[in-house]
Amino acid sequence: MSSAAEVHFDPLADPLTQLDRLLEHESGVVRAGAPVDALLVLRRDLVREVLRDTDTYSSRDALGGPMPASVPPRVAAELPEFLQEPVTAVVDADGPGHHRLHATVQAAYSRARTGTLRPLLVRRAGELAGEIAERRGGDLVADFAQPLTAAGMAAAMGVPQQDAPQLAAWAMSLAQVLTPTVPEEERAAAAGRLHGFAEWGGDLLDRAPEGSAAAIYARGADGRQALRREDALYCLLTHWVAGTVTTTHGITTAAHRLLCERALWQEAAADPDTFAPRAFDEGLRWAAPHRGLVRTVTRPATLGEVRLAPGDQVLPMLAAANRDPGHWAEPRRFDPHREAAHHDAFSYGPHACVGAHLARLEGEIALHTLLTALPSLRRDGDEPPLRPDFFFHGLARLPVTLTGPDPAEA
């Protein structure tokens, strides 16, 4: 048995290069300093061990601990009333409390419920692709993936489409509050902006259409209990971020990797029914959009060869699990021909992502639309920049151009 090796890990830099290097550590567990301050779990088998064993590895500090105690006093003082007492977003709950909350949220994003959104998503994806065709190019992040996932999440939640931009702004304010690398002054300002959400969100919970996520949070469904009002409001914000930012990154990563190899793009365009879902899953494997959430050790344990004590914090790195050469052949190669559906980008175990059905539906439709409506699409410019983010990984923008007539113009 041993202690973990000390390493440097910068969450705002490209994580893939760092994780590929860190995976060379035989133990599969290393210790990172500030701003992460946790043991990084890298190997796929160890990541799954942590995610599966919720008794040993608690989720209570998944988002930095319960608010308002988890944020600086100056930030906490600016929070609206519903965040002045501990709330949960489901990912930071354990035991029976988690099971009850998870069951309710899972009902809101079931395969059957999200499947009803297909016509809306197909129509919106077609509109966005048509606008790119008219301009002969654009940014697949801002002009395609972001508005598409926003439309899908708004419809799933029961949010009026015209209110989606404002909800997105509030959700990103909460993300700033929760992010330790954001300066305290900015976190306090972001907390203050959430007062407007409290009134709007309460009204949404009262009037949400039956069958929508907001209605299920507020009133329950299919034998599942309603969430506490404070938790329901918190979930509206956290689930918006989880359901839009990650899927946007998944769509643009897959599109980018296909566009990097012209022969691969052309092969996919010739058979979009097969390649759209496979490329989306392989993109999630190749670069998991979410890094993972902290778990707190509750009792003495050994993870791989590393001894752990109660109170230690471990961070299962989903992108590392998906690039573990002990499990994946040539993990650094993007290959939509491989069987990648059992990746860990949606996490694993009791806290596996309840929005996976919606994400896969949006990803499949997005890539299918690009491949069929814009087959002459190409990257425009050099390697696109990454978005510097503490929790997520993806492209900040993806400029593209059209080089020939597409089916919509024929």
On whether the CB atoms of residues 243 and 149 are closer than 8 A, the answer is yes
The reported pLDDT for the residue numbered 195 is: 97
Does residue 394 or residue 70 have the better pLDDT?
A: 394
What SS3 state is found at 37?
coil
Residue 16 confidence (pLDDT) above 70: yes
Q: Which residues, in sequence order, are bridge partners of residue 296? A: 58, 313
Q: How far apart are the C-alpha atoms of 321 and 291, rounded to whole Å?
A: 10
Measured from the Cβ of residue 311, the count of other Cβ atoms closer than 10 Å reads 8
Mean pLDDT computed over every residue of the chain? 95
Residue 1 confidence (pLDDT) above 70: no
The reported pLDDT for the residue numbered 67 is: 85
The reported pLDDT for the residue numbered 65 is: 86
| Each residue's pLDDT tens digit, 259-307 | 999 999 999 999 999 999 999 999 999 999 999 999 999 999 999 999 9
Phi, then psi, of 306 in degrees rounded to 5: -105, 130
Query: Mean pLDDT across the stretch 158-162?
Result: 97
Structural domain boundaries in the chain: 72-289+322-409
| Each residue's pLDDT tens digit, 24-48 | 988 899 999 998 999 999 999 999 9
Query: Mean pLDDT across the stretch 169-176?
Result: 96
| Each residue's pLDDT tens digit, 336-375 | 999 888 999 999 999 999 999 999 999 999 999 999 999 9
Query: Mean pLDDT across the stretch 43-70?
Result: 94
Structure-token pair, residue 38 = 């946790």
| 326-333: Cβ within 8 A, 24+ apart | 326/43, 326/44, 326/45, 327/44, 327/45, 328/285, 332/20
DSSP summary character for residue 351: G
The reported pLDDT for the residue numbered 184 is: 96
Residue 402 confidence (pLDDT) above 70: yes
Measured from the Cβ of residue 183, the count of other Cβ atoms closer than 10 Å reads 9
The reported pLDDT for the residue numbered 407 is: 60
Structure-token pair, residue 66 = 């319960």
| Each residue's pLDDT tens digit, 190-241 | 999 999 999 999 999 999 999 999 999 999 998 999 999 999 999 999 999 9
CATH code for residues 72-289+322-409: 1.10.630.10
Residue 409 confidence (pLDDT) above 70: no
Structure-token pair, residue 289 = 């959009």
Q: Which residues, in sequence order, are bridge partners of residue 399? A: 139
Percent of the residues in the chain that have a pLDDT greater than 70, as a whole number: 98
- pTM for the full predicted model: 0.95
The reported pLDDT for the residue numbered 3 is: 81
Q: State the pairing for strand pair 5-7/29-32.
A: parallel
On whether the CB atoms of residues 259 and 400 are closer than 8 A, the answer is yes
Query: Judging by beta carbons within 10 Å of its beta carbon (0-12, 13-18, 19+), is residue 335 exposed, middle or buried?
Result: middle
